[in-house]
Chains A and B, each alone.
Chain A
């Protein structure tokens, strides 16, 4: 049973976003890490890069495959989590907290409103 915290918003492509003031933190969901399993490598975007909502901007690799991570919103990358680069297993053990990927300054507030609520995301993943 996946942990879907109620204070986050979700993208259909299994990223979460936590908004705090004018920046937001992005990671992948507990469901996503459980599906991927054994994360062995994380590639993060450069700080300062401008990304569009739905743009592939990070890569997470399990033993078996490489998967793109899509930005839930448009904006500028303001920070990345070097801890997951050094220890990719953190994405498996703490997907919603210590395993975050990057911080972004959203450029279009309307995009946040279009993301899934915890309830809708729970429905999407069937539980």
Chain B
């Protein structure tokens, strides 16, 4: 039985086309992936991200525990700030990628991938069992719904949706006073909302977490108040094309337990100098000596069908790797993707070929992100 978010009825009402994603029944699109994608790039869009998981970690040992469990240095955060980080196994393989927020001193809020909630929580609990410090770890995924409101015009209406100053975490006079990666708690109907200036689209925007009732209310208000600015509800299809254009990894595609953050090109979020943490030995070795595979972004340079996951990547007449994400870019109107290749083929402008249904088509490695706002 697929799980449904508290916005399920809203998706049905809007004619959303529902698909399975990570055990959830989610809208892949309402009208058209391309239209929804372009609405987010040029104006605004709202996504249901209630399927994502939330874990709270608190107590005197929280900082030490998180710094042993996650790759980024949690000590860089002050209250009201968040960071992208990864959770690795002992071999440096990625268990999940996530956002960690410091809500107040010793109180952390982790936002994790829907498809990884069970694995993440089991891993965190097994790590906590070995940890001697004072720690409270709670899987709060069932308590929260969430939406992402993304796009260049969002700042024009978001303060009307969630009016007033924040009351916790980052203290600001209005939602739009939050800076990138900052998080604030705001008064709202049904117990308040947690708002962060983050997203998964490459656009400015906010992610809003709260109770089912609060988020239903946010959803309706955003649709109403955003409409004059060109806001559209957007599904997972547009979410995937938007993140692919800006080369954000998606767990299960760019990341898995057999792939390290160094191989995936997110070594910036690995703090080797913070002390011991899971996977550190392997990650330090890879950072010093390089890796056998590297994640690259590419563009098709010849007319072809869109590249798709698992299509072989060829270079110098040999199959050298595999596509992990691929699509027709709605912004660039050409085939784009990401894939793993040996490091000798990872330099921008390297000529490669993508095998599509038995035929090879010309492509070129490009610098990430594939799409850059002009």
A binding-site residues for B, Cβ under 8 Å:
37-38, 40-41, 43, 59, 61-64, 66
Enumerate B301-325 residues with CB–CB distance to A below 8 Å. Answer: 304-306, 308
B37 — which chain A residues lie within 8 A by C-beta?
A: 63
- Complex CA–CA separation, A37 to B19 (angstroms): 15
- Contact between A38 and B305 (Cβ–Cβ < 8 Å)? no
From A43, A59, A63, A66, contact of B34 by CB (8 A): A63
Minimal beta-carbon separation of A56 from chain B (angstroms): 10
A61 — which chain B residues lie within 8 A by C-beta?
A: 305-306, 328
Enumerate B95-133 residues with CB–CB distance to A below 8 Å. Answer: none
**Does chain A have a CB within 8 A of B71?**
no
From B33, B305, B357, contact of A64 by CB (8 A): B33
Enumerate B1-34 residues with CB–CB distance to A below 8 Å. Answer: 28-29, 31-34
- B31-49 vs A, CB cutoff 8 Å, 1 = contact: the mask equals 1111001000000000000
A62 — which chain B residues lie within 8 A by C-beta?
A: 33
- B332-366 vs A, CB cutoff 8 Å, 1 = contact: the mask equals 00000000000000000000000001000000000
A59 — which chain B residues lie within 8 A by C-beta?
A: 305, 357
Minimal beta-carbon separation of A32 from chain B (angstroms): 14
- Contact between B32 and A37 (Cβ–Cβ < 8 Å)? yes
B308 — which chain A residues lie within 8 A by C-beta?
A: 66
Minimal beta-carbon separation of A105 from chain B (angstroms): 25
**Does chain A have a CB within 8 A of B330?**
yes
B357 — which chain A residues lie within 8 A by C-beta?
A: 43, 59
- Complex CA–CA separation, A97 to B241 (angstroms): 30
- Contact between B29 and A41 (Cβ–Cβ < 8 Å)? no
- Contact between A63 and B305 (Cβ–Cβ < 8 Å)? no
Main DSSP-derived SS at the B contact region: mixed
- Contact between A41 and B305 (Cβ–Cβ < 8 Å)? yes
Having A40-B328, A41-B306, A43-B357, one finds 10 other A-B pairs with CB under 8 Å, namely: A37-B29, A37-B32, A37-B33, A41-B305, A41-B328, A63-B330, A64-B28, A64-B29, A64-B240, A66-B308
B binding-site residues for A, Cβ under 8 Å:
28-29, 31-34, 37, 237, 240-241, 304-306, 308, 327-328, 330, 357
- Contact between B305 and A43 (Cβ–Cβ < 8 Å)? yes
If A63-B241, A63-B330, A64-B237 touch, whether A40 touches B32 (CB-CB below 8 Å) is no
- Contact between A38 and B306 (Cβ–Cβ < 8 Å)? no
Most buried by B among A37, A59, A66: A37
- Complex CA–CA separation, A66 to B237 (angstroms): 14
From A41, A43, A63, A66, contact of B33 by CB (8 A): A63
- Complex CA–CA separation, A4 to B328 (angstroms): 29
- Complex CA–CA separation, A66 to B241 (angstroms): 15
- Complex CA–CA separation, A59 to B237 (angstroms): 20
- Complex CA–CA separation, A64 to B237 (angstroms): 7
From B28, B240, B305, contact of A66 by CB (8 A): B305
B33 — which chain A residues lie within 8 A by C-beta?
A: 37-38, 62-64
Most buried by B among A38, A41, A62, A63: A63
